[in-house]
């Protein structure tokens, strides 16, 4: 695993034990190169945590949370962007061959390899947001993972969304979004005010999964995707849902436990009102303004 540092480490805050060093890094994943950010506490970390982001969410969105993990929880953190997205964009999106399966089964394991190289002989943790935790039991190299936190993650069908969000989801999958993706060769999310631009292969696979009752189970049955086998690892699993999440509702998050057989599963539903917050939903749990919820994201692992 070749890791290249870009520039010099930057001290972002504090002094002494509270100081966090932040470094931009790149690492290989299959035949492409990913751009990441490494957050390292001043003292020896108690573990290294790989932060797998959600579909269409850049690593910069998690920057404050990752810095908090390093500064207050003494965790080294590697965040990164998937192939042909964010800091990992290597070519025009219309030329990209990236897929959702590649993001999950190639990029996520490569990020763990990079974390092992950055922090050898250190406990390995994974925190996955949405897509970031759904396919871990299907991936290679999971045997040494010691802890998993899945935030707002689960296999969601269009009909699982509450209204009125379900109307937006149906528009996203069946309205003008697929038409424009076919015409332009990529999903023009920013132009449409619906998130970031995405490679067409990612959008089409995402669409197929979320509009199929079997999600991608049929591909497992046909042997085109590996079957989930968490018994190769067995690390404890913390499932975290947000009560007002219309994208991946709490009931869908709870169902993810079925994929993580052979381990202890802890399920928690966080209610924004209990933290003095109005609304949080699927993404904003990682916003700095909602930092009151962060210790309960990682649960009993919090210092």
| 185-208 pLDDT tens trace | 999 999 999 899 999 999 999 999
Q: Binning pLDDT at 50, 70 and 90, where does residue 217 land? A: confident
Q: Are 50 and 112 in contact (CB under 8 A)?
A: yes
Residue of higher predicted confidence among 18 and 300: 300
Please determine, for residue 209, whether its predicted confidence score (pLDDT) is greater than 90: yes
Q: Give the pLDDT band (50/70/90) at residue 6.
A: low
* The pairing of beta strand 32-41 with beta strand 47-52: unpaired
**Residues in CB range of 86: below 8 A, 6 or more apart:** 35, 58, 59, 60, 196
CA–CA gap between residue 273 and residue 280 (Å, rounded): 10
Task: Examine the pLDDT at 12 and tell me if it is beyond 60.
Answer: no
Residue with tokens 């933290």, as numbered in its chain: 275
Q: What is the mean pLDDT of residues 88-93?
A: 97
pLDDT at 30 over 60: yes
pLDDT at 257 over 60: yes
pTM over 0.85: yes
Mean pLDDT over 166-176 rounds to 96
- Cβ neighbours, 10 Å, residue 69: 28
Find the mean pLDDT for residues 77-103: 97
Structure confidence at residue 82 (pLDDT):
98
Interval 72-83 mean pLDDT: 98
Question: Which domains does the chain show, CATH number per domain?
Answer: 3-160+228-301 (3.40.50.1820)
User: d(Cα 62, Cα 114) in Å, to the nearest integer?
Assistant: 18
């Amino acid at each position: 695993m070749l890791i290249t540092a870009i520039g010099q480490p930057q001290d972002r805050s504090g002094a002494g034990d509270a100081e966090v060093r932040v470094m931009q890094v790149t690492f290989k994943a299959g035949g492409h190169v990913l751009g990441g950010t490494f957050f390292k506490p001043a003292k020896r970390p108690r573990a290294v945590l790989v932060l797998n982001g959600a579909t269409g969410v850049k690593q910069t969105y998690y920057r404050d949370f990752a810095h908090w993990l390093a500064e207050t929880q003494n965790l080294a953190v590697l965040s990164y962007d998937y192939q042909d997205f964010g800091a990992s964009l290597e070519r025009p999106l219309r030329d990209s061959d990236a897929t959702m399966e590649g993001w999950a089964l190639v990029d996520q394991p490569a990020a763990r390899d990079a974390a092992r190289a950055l922090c050898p002989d250190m406990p390995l943790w994974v925190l996955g947001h949405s897509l970031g935790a759904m396919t871990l039991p299907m991936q290679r190299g999971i045997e040494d993972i010691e802890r998993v936190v899945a935030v707002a993650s689960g296999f969601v069908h269009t009909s699982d969304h509450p209204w009125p969000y379900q109307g937006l989801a149906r528009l996203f999958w069946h309205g003008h979004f697929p038409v424009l993706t076919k015409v332009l060769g990529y999903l023009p999310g920013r132009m449409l005010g619906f998130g970031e631009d995405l490679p067409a292969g990612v959008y089409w696979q995402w669409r197929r999964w979320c509009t199929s009752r079997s999600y991608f189970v049929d591909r497992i049955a046909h042997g085109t995707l590996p079957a989930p086998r968490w018994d190769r690892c067995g690390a404890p699993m913390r499932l975290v849902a947000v009560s007002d999440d219309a994208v991946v509702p709490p009931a869908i998050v709870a169902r993810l436990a079925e994929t993580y057989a052979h381990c202890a599963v802890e399920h928690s539903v966080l209610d924004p009102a209990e933290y003095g917050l109005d609304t949080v939903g699927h993404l904003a749990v990682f916003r700095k303004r909602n930092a009151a919820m962060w210790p309960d994201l990682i649960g009993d692992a919090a210092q």
